[in-house]
Amino acid sequence: MADTFGPMRDDDADDGVVGLGPDGGMSRKEPIRVLVVDDHALFRRGLEIVLAAEEDIQVVGEAGDGAEAVDKAADLLPDIVLMDVRMPKRGGIEACTSIKEVAPSAKIIMLTISDEEADLYEAIKAGATGYLLKEISTDEVATAIRAVADGQSQISPSMASKLLTEFKSMIQRTDERRLVPAPRLTDRELEVLKLVATGMNNRDIAKELFISENTVKNHVRNILEKLQLHSRMEAVVYAMREKILEIR
């Protein structure tokens, strides 16, 4: 697919997207409903043109700022919100929390030129499931939408590298004393968490542990509930912070 808008490009394979473990690869019967949010009308239009070529993706609406995005999300209840970080009136990160309140099932992918670590961290804390730089190829936008709809967390590689570097630094700075005891996980849940934290998907975890994929899904759900986490990405952070997964 040829590029049809701005800074996205297909010529650099290293600009691919890092995925952190899907919740399954089930095919969808209905198109993935996407709300496009960006303050540049031309960019929004470019995304619509690109995504219109994908049979399993449907752009159901667009918004020019975070405030409008919250209203549109409440009305349209999209599966995916593809949203810029910095916009007038209300930015994308600030809008994340409100969108999760009015459309709890919507998953948010930040699509931005901002490669600031602070924006990435704040986006994740606000509930974003993906953080992509606008330099990625147009094909990868559709791929990322499908992956997030299937339960993955998507981060552009350069940002993932910064994230892991910060996590390593954070672990080194962490006081060995815990103010609050960590929730108790079973041995099997710890095994699953370690594999989730390495980026393995449910199917591969099932093969590794000789259990069914549904059993893996149940373990992941129980882990997130016990640790009061909202996504597999947060589970990776937890595993690194608690030194369940070592970064060498």
Question: Of the given ranges (4-8, 37-41, 141-145), which has the lowest mean pLDDT?
Answer: 4-8
Average pLDDT for 74-90: 92
User: Which CATH number is correct for 166-241, 1.10.10.10, 3.40.50.1370, 2.60.40.1730, 3.40.50.970?
Assistant: 1.10.10.10
Q: What is the rounded average pLDDT for all residues in the chain?
A: 79
Average pLDDT for 189-201: 81
Give the per-residue pLDDT at 126. 84
In the 8-state DSSP scheme, what is residue 28?
Answer: P
Fold observed for domain 13-159: Rossmann fold (3.40.50)
Instruction: Please enumerate in sequence order all residues whose Cβ is within 8 A of that of 161, keeping only pairs 6 or more positions apart, or say none.
Output: none
Average pLDDT for 70-80: 95
| Among candidate residues 114, 30, 37, the one with its CA nearest the CA of residue 68 | 37
| C-alpha radius of gyration, the chain, whole number | 18
- Domain map (residue ranges) of the chain: 13-159, 166-241
Identical fold for domains 13-159 and 166-241, yes or no, is no
Higher pLDDT: 232 or 65? It is 65
Give the per-residue pLDDT at 235. 76
SS3 sequence, 53-98? CCCCEEEEEEECCHHHHHHHHHHHCCCEEEECCCCCCCCHHHHHHH
Distances, alpha carbon 112 to alpha carbons 21, 28, 135, 214, in Å = 23, 27, 9, 35
